[in-house]
Amino acid sequence: MSIDLSRREFIQLGAATAGALAVGQLLPLMVVQAAQEAGMLNTSGDGTIPSMCEMCVWRCGLLAKVRDGRVVKLDGNPDHPHSRGHLCVRGQSGLFNTYDPDRVLHPLIRVGRRGEGRFRRVSWDEALDYTAERMLEIKQTYGPEAMVFSSTHNLSQVQFENLLYAYGSPNYGTQRSLCFNAMIVANLMTYGIEEPERIYDDQLQYIILTGRNLMEAVSTSETGDLSAAIARGAHVVYLDPRFTKTAAKATEWLPIKPGTDLAFHLALLNVIIGEDLYDHAFVTSYTVGFEQLAQEVAAYTPEWAAAITEIDADRIRRIAREFAAAAPHALAHNGWRTSNFINSFQTQRAITILNALIGNWNVTLRAGGGEASGALGTIPQPAYPRSSAQRLDHVPSRFPVVPLKLGVFQELRDSILSGEPYQAHGWFIARQNPVMSLPDRARTLQAFEKMDFIVTVDILVNDTAWFSDVILPEASYLERYDPLNVVGDRAYLRQPVIEPQGEARSALWIYKQLGERLGLGDYFQYTDEQDYINQQLAPLGVSLEDIRSQGYVDLPPSEAGGFEWNTPSGRIELFSDTLARVGFSGVPVWEPPPEPPQGEFYLLTGKVAQSTQFGTQNNQMLHKYADEPRLWLNEGVAADRGLVDGDWVEVSSEVGVGHIRLLVTPAIRPDCVYLTPGFGHLSRGLTTAFGLGASDSALHVTYTDPVSGSQALSQTFVTVRKV
């Protein structure tokens, strides 16, 4: 039976699920049964089941209201620290993801050309057998390194990694280098941890946000915390070339020139050190490298920074003094990407050091728990085979300080294209959309053409699935188990709240099934998802049934953070020897960012509350309430060019072109444009999203920071002209 997704008719929400339920009902209603036995659902199938959201990485705890076997409403779980009873706009729309008429509910194998959208529906056995066969073929012909594995961070990541390491490939791509490599590496260099936890208490007085548009890049609890801090009178300084919704709430909005937030922070360091405003005791007791730092930042005066950033020198000086005066109840927020330029690594280093100088450790920052917990059990497995092949993302060969699990994804893609040092032949993608997330989409599609075999695990036929050879349908987060998620002193459970529709299955099941067919069954020593979780819970002496209705299990309380850091020196490293030894500057140093030629603009990107990257544009409820995707242009500039709001324009970079309607607004610097991210989908299998907006990744030029491997997404320059 051939399905032509390119001409699939739009089905009213509910119609597809009616058919899907019919198939599902051939199987025993395991979810309902388990929920009823736990007392969460009554005999009519009505009740409330706790689980966790997956609409973004914040993973708020939720309570799913179930009626007659359908999830009808999601509410925040008051017992989860990320939700505290609330869910953001995406969390609330989650059931529209689950019931999206475009859900892929059966395994598919391509029949037409890649990108034609013609697939044939097959059984799980056939799809998995075929996938394993092709993967083994690649392994035997070219070696396991010829198979690339990529996935965006999710709760089943540990088993994804298990699969790729067991298979023997070193080529692991994640979204991290497209997002926060700079931040993670900077924190690792300074504090020896990936990301400190921020503490918003009643005393927090001063916050510097560099980017991190928390009122639009909503992380439910942190957004609430920031809002409460502002309401209490905390002073918030917000750096962004755009007047975003965070700018509207901040005490001060600094319309900083793109790429120059590094200069701003270096000037802050200059003032705090130069005017002797730092916490001497803290610096002496807990840091190393102060002398080298002081020497480096001596030249970075506010006057110097003012010329670069286009922010008043007096203002910079005042902010530095106020920040230091508020110490230790002050916080310089790392954010995800700051200005998203190559020099953002240095910016992140400067921010972490700024915090250290005022001694806010264990006041506004502390070591977080991380997502793994030593208290949970792990699945036994044999040792992984050694891989002698070089990684295609040149970690660590070209990127000596980038952790292996971060990788440099765009390098991986470029190596696939170049075929150096060897040609990759296969790509296994799970819960990720590299066609849309990697910069320079045209190159990514070219890389796809180099592949002999592409298999994707996803819940929709997104753009990457559209170009794949095999699509394995994953159950959505409301339909599956995932490994336990540690937050604070609890491990939270994700459990299905409805029966999986169609033939969709969890990633845990898919990886195990595939693993067994690849001869790697020993690495997947769990019988099913519930057994997996029971093995995790075993050291705590409880079972899944014990924790189902509560939705979490308490862990032994972790020790209160002290003043030790996981760095080579055991202290906060203002000067990083690790960096210096491999030829990078040990202290933050000024790197001038590129500027657009006359007549061109910085192409900015940034978050929208109603979307998460590239995965939510098809959600009908979010589509209903989100603004139309537009290109923002400063109103003065528009007037000069004779452009008016609503005009169709062509925006082009050196690698791509897009067509979109203009939003003429005062809310953006005259030298910048902003394109609503995440649109311009290529997959006709996304019937709501297809045809909307333009693709930012088609425009982004690939720029990689040599230190952290971070992709500099805002360093692309574009022209805009009316069409």
Partner 1 sequence: MTHQPTNPRYGFLIDASYCIDCRSCMVACSVENNVPMDSTRIWIKETGITGTYPDLKRFTAPFHCMHCKDPSCVSACTVSALTRNDDGIVSYNQDICIGCRYCVYACPFGVPNYQWDEPLPLVIKCDMCFARLGEGQQPACAATCPTGAIQFGRYEDMLAEAHRKINERPDKYVQHIYGEEENGGTATLYISPVPFEELGFPIAGTTSPAYSNRLVTEGTPMVAGAMLVGLTGVYLTIKHLREEAERDRVEAAKEKAAQSAGEEQ
Instruction: Give contact residues for partner 1 (rule: CB under 8 A).
Output: 72-76, 85-89, 91-93, 95-96, 215-216, 218, 220-221, 223-224, 227-228, 231, 243, 245-249, 253, 255, 609-610, 620-622, 624-626, 634, 636, 665-667
As a whole number of angstroms, the distance between CA 481 and CA 477 comes to 8
For the stretch 336-354, what's the b/e string if a residue is b when 16 or more beta carbons lie within 10 angstroms of its beta carbon?
Answer: bbbbbbbbbbbbbbbbbbb
As a whole number of angstroms, the distance between CA 512 and CA 563 comes to 42
CB-wise, 218 or 507, nearer to partner 1? 218
As a whole number of angstroms, the distance between CA 159 and CA 526 comes to 11
CB-wise, 245 or 684, nearer to partner 1? 245
CB-wise, 308 or 533, nearer to partner 1? 308
8 Å CB contact between 694 and 657 = no
CB-wise, 40 or 507, nearer to partner 1? 40
Record the tokens describing residue 691, joined without a space: 């045809």
H/E run at residue 11: none
8 Å CB contact between 631 and 660 = yes
CB-wise, 224 or 400, nearer to partner 1? 224
Q: Residue type for 433, please?
A: N
Closest CB 670 distance from partner 1, rounded Å: 8
The one-character DSSP state at 7 is G
**Which of 658, 655, 669, 652 lies closest to 719 in space, CA to CA?**
652
8 Å CB contact between 172 and 157 = no
Record the tokens describing residue 626, joined without a space: 């989100």
Closest CB 634 distance from partner 1, rounded Å: 7
CB-wise, 86 or 134, nearer to partner 1? 86
CB-wise, 280 or 624, nearer to partner 1? 624
SS3 160: helix
Task: Give the dihedral of Cα atoms 407, 410, 411, 417; nearest 10 deg.
Answer: 140
In 3-state terms the chain splits into helix, strand, coil percentages (rounded to 5) of: 35, 20, 50
Closest CB 246 distance from partner 1, rounded Å: 8
8 Å CB contact between 135 and 148 = no
As a whole number of angstroms, the distance between CA 549 and CA 636 comes to 57
Q: Across the strands, what pairs with 112?
A: none
CB-wise, 76 or 170, nearer to partner 1? 76
Closest CB 42 distance from partner 1, rounded Å: 14
H/E run at residue 699: none
CB-wise, 72 or 404, nearer to partner 1? 72
Closest CB 71 distance from partner 1, rounded Å: 10
Closest CB 623 distance from partner 1, rounded Å: 9
Closest CB 47 distance from partner 1, rounded Å: 12
| Angle made by CA atoms 136, 140, 143, in degrees to the nearest 5 | 105
CB-wise, 609 or 707, nearer to partner 1? 609
Closest CB 718 distance from partner 1, rounded Å: 21
Record the tokens describing residue 426, joined without a space: 């296969």
DSSP strand pairing (365-366 vs 426-430): unpaired
CB-wise, 54 or 393, nearer to partner 1? 54
